[in-house]
């Protein structure tokens, strides 16, 4: 499995959000899409999920353009959006049954699939609880279980841990890493929180809409001279015009 993003530029009217972005992701494992607020992470996700039409460039999955085989290729993606999209007044089961039916999963298969994915997230005992009664971390786990119901091989998560406490963030991140190992799932995890990144993770660092680093996270250390990833991230994304004439 290979996802290739080739020369993507995207503008909202006069505001350019992505500038000639290219990279490719290979089969399996945890990949991070790093960038501060406004870097273009969500815009890129919206193009990958075809919420927005490409303005220029090309995205392919296994060399097939997402423009040409949208339904088939979209079926291979599981998505957790930046904002939660669960209905708080429905139970976990109701939310997931609805999603299963949207994906054409038969009613006979839906409940077993829901139970399998919830138990992988250690949420099987919350099936009949209203989402409103779950804490933020548990809601996110339900969203991850939901994104996996139709058995995608690629999962996109857009800042899934924002607003969660550090322990909950850590446990969610570890759960997703475990899924990568168990299923050979390819994950693209967008974040600006460097605690979620290991130095040997493959990363794409976006800054002001352009790819600044495409390599291992340790490359941030090499390029910034910092000795930890958090400092490196700040150095690489806070002073972009350093040294440039005013």
Q: Which residues bind Mg ion (CB under 5 A)?
A: 41-42
Q: Closer to Mg ion by CB, 42 or 237: give it.
A: 42
Q: Closer to ligand ADP by CB, 15 or 108: give it.
A: 15
Please state the closest distance from residue 53 (CB atom) to ligand ADP, in A: 14
Please state the closest distance from residue 39 (CB atom) to ligand ADP, in A: 4
Question: CA neighbours within 13 Å on the CB side: how many for 109?
Answer: 10
Environment class of 174 (CB within 10 Å of its CB; exposed 0-12, middle 13-18, buried 19+): exposed
Please state the closest distance from residue 3 (CB atom) to ligand ADP, in A: 18
Axis-axis angle for helices 92-102, 107-120 (nearest 10): 120
Q: Closer to ligand ADP by CB, 41 or 126: give it.
A: 41
Q: Closer to ligand ADP by CB, 17 or 157: give it.
A: 17
| Euclidean distance between CA atoms 210 and 35, whole angstroms | 10
Environment class of 188 (CB within 10 Å of its CB; exposed 0-12, middle 13-18, buried 19+): buried
Please state the closest distance from residue 31 (CB atom) to ligand ADP, in A: 16
Please state the closest distance from residue 81 (CB atom) to ligand ADP, in A: 11
Q: Closer to Mg ion by CB, 117 or 196: give it.
A: 196
78 interface partner picked from Mg ion, ligand ADP, none, CB below 5 to 8 A per type? none
146-148-149 Cα angle (round to 5)? 70
Give yes or no for a contact between 221 and 31, defined as CB atoms under 8 angstroms apart: no
43 interface partner picked from ligand ADP, Mg ion, none, CB below 5 to 8 A per type? ligand ADP
207 interface partner picked from Mg ion, ligand ADP, none, CB below 5 to 8 A per type? none
Environment class of 40 (CB within 10 Å of its CB; exposed 0-12, middle 13-18, buried 19+): buried
Please state the closest distance from residue 190 (CB atom) to Mg ion, in A: 7
| Minimal CB distance residue for Mg ion | 42
DSSP 234: H
Q: Closer to Mg ion by CB, 33 or 149: give it.
A: 33
Q: Footprint of ligand ADP on this chain (CB under 6 A)?
A: 12, 15, 17, 35, 37-43
160 interface partner picked from Mg ion, ligand ADP, none, CB below 5 to 8 A per type? none
Closest by CA to 29, choosing from 140, 151, 154, is: 154
Q: Is 120 helix (H, G, I), strand (E, B) or coil?
A: helix
């Amino acid at each position: 499995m290979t996802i290739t993003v080739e020369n993507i530029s995207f503008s909202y009217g006069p505001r350019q959000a992505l500038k000639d972005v290219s990279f490719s992701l290979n089969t399996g494992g945890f990949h991070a899409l790093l960038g501060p607020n406004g870097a273009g992470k969500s815009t890129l996700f919206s193009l990958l999920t075809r919420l927005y039409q490409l303005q220029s460039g090309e995205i392919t999955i296994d060399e097939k353009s997402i423009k040409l085989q949208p339904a088939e290729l979209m079926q291979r993606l599981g998505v957790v959006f930046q904002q939660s999209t669960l209905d708080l007044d429905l139970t976990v089961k109701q939310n997931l049954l609805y999603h299963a039916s949207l994906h054409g999963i038969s009613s006979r298969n839906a409940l077993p699939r829901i139970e399998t994915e919830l138990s992988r997230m250690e949420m099987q005992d919350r099936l009949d609880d209203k989402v409103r009664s779950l804490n933020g971390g548990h809601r996110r786990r339900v969203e991850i279980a939901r994104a996996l119901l139709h058995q995608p091989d690629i999962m996109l998560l857009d800042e899934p841990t924002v607003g969660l406490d550090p322990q909950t963030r850590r446990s969610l991140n570890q759960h997703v890493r475990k899924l990568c190992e168990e299923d050979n799932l390819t994950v693209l995890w967008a974040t600006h929180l460097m605690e979620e990144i290991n130095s040997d993770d493959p990363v794409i660092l976006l800054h002001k809409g352009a790819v600044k680093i495409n390599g291992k996270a340790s490359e941030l250390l090499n390029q910034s001279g910092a000795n930890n990833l958090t400092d490196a991230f700040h150095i690489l994304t806070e002073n972009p015009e350093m040294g440039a004439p005013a």
